[in-house]
Structure 1
């Protein structure tokens, strides 16, 4: 590469960094001798819903807490809204909203009192009652936090994250414990925020949530970035024809692979199997016949394209981690 080309590339990269809402470059963090984040690099663009995924212990929490200004990087560069989250925290905090996985709400205060308290920290907060209605907590406005259900606490935590009209929102497991209706409401709030130009960093263990909401997905494991692209691009590289079925755990995948139309068979988690093929109709006949002949009960059968969850399990493994 010529000197001129290098200079042009450097200038372009600098300009891109300046536009990005979040810049993470060669970020590493260790606790004692254990490195939890290892030379991690990615960017989040303005108005983007960016999902950061990984199994437990992958380094997600450390990364997000560093972006929020609660931890300092050992090495590398972290910029959020063009600011250093540690050194320029006073300027950054009013511009971001944080929805924590652990709600940390005041148990003796009512939902409305909690929002009024946090509204007092901002110069132009949202209307408290309008926001309570937006997250579906109008009927629980006078309920003390200790009496709220788990799902209601998550919705109140979301309202707290949004009360200051942030430019950037960190959502950590936003729909954990929510019923299907509240989950759909939360998804629509995320989409509305995006339409209004708000940038969102999302962490979730729900792959369908990331697939439906995120513009781009980053998967990290053992502190390193192992995949980064749009959900469509990430899944398009997989075999398009997939059969998923649920049956007793421990089936012999070698026998499944031996079926004429099966290209690959895998038990992605206990009792959940994924078969790849280029001939769905033939495979369905072979599979159901094999299950019948083996007297194996079938409780679920689905046909479709490779999913983000399939890719995630292939990249990070199916074993449960603490």
Structure 2
């Protein structure tokens, strides 16, 4: 009740003030009936009794009545002061309070509902549902992001594999192109290598003759020979070719072309320039090796400059002493054969582009 009637405690004071005011009004008004207060009847009696004793009684009664009136006035003043100390507040009708409570309950009923004795507000439920939907959406977004990450990683691996396969395909294609070019380009092999010695005198022999190297073009296109070089060596061969002092022959005219399946012969006259003496011939006849090596420079059909190297070793069937006038004096010399792989002369045989 105190919530609906905040000034309920001050109501007795209001009734007391009202009673005091009513009492003062009755005291001031003339007495007309027996319901008047005691002090009013005393005043009336004193007014109508003329005796001395009556006068004394009336005086006592008047004093008592005045004293009661003064007390009543003091009580009224105290009540008025107490009433003034309480803040004014509008009076609340209990019916109106009950109506407000009913309205509030109705409003709360509109804002929510009860489930198993638990009151649930619609706004709170909406907030929960929105939060739940946000959580579901966030989880779905995470799943989509994870899927995109795996897809990107898979795509990256696929792209890497594709790039590797493309590089491998490019490498294979390049090798195929190079193989096609090499098949169409000129290619040289040593078709023959020999030495022809002229007849020599028995005394103070001086060797003459010619060294020959036959190179055959086994490619499918022509080759333009630019220059050739030939050199001889005796004894142990060097691991790397040394063309210093070699007999170099440049092309002497235009159109020095070797067609496919044709043979280009290199001829090197045997003179003192080669250094073949009777002493060297006897050493070779006793098993010392003799080497004939060189190179050929040429252009292919794509105008690229190539160099091909070759080497040969003299055989033991060489006729080193074709003495003049003796039988077989015209059969001096012999053939050279390819070098064995265990000799250590692999660096002498090659084919490469000159700018490499």
TM-score by length of structure 1 reads: 0.20
Q: Which has the larger radius of gyration?
A: 2
From the two aligned structures, give the one with the greater helix fraction.
2
TM-score by length of structure 2 reads: 0.19
Higher relative contact order (CA 8 A, sep 6+): 1
